[in-house]
Amino acid sequence: MNLYQGCVLTAVLAFLVLVVFAIRTLIQIMHTAEAVEYLALSTAEKVDKTQSAFTLLDNVASFFDSGIFRAAKTGLEFVNRFRREK
């Protein structure tokens, strides 16, 4: 076996090793993608379950920002001042 044949054999073996590692990497990427898909689906289900709680919190926050709450708060402050002055 001369020098060129040795170089070609080394190159072929290196290419085969590269192909094996590429296939293993692609398989691992496929498994990771499946796990991410499962995580996304389970997270979407949990978000759907908690949507009513977020809606309630939004309604409560809107109430606190509304004029009715501010008027009630002003009325309570007025009553408290009136009681302190007595």
Please state, in angstroms and rounded to a whole number, the distance separating the CA atoms of residues 66 and 60. 10
**The most confident of 1-5, 34-38, 39-43, 69-73, by mean pLDDT:** 34-38
* Whether 29 contacts 22, CB under 8 Å: no
Q: Looking at residue 86, what is its pLDDT? A: 60
Range of the domain at 75: 3-85
In this prediction, residues 52-74 reach a mean pLDDT of 77
Total structural domains within the chain: 1
CA atoms of 73 and 3, how far apart (whole Å): 93
Q: Three-state secondary structure along 32-44? A: HHHHHHHHHHHHH
pTM, entire model = 0.49
Write the single-letter amino acid at 38. Answer: Y
22 vs 62, higher pLDDT? 22
Range 76-82 average pLDDT:
79
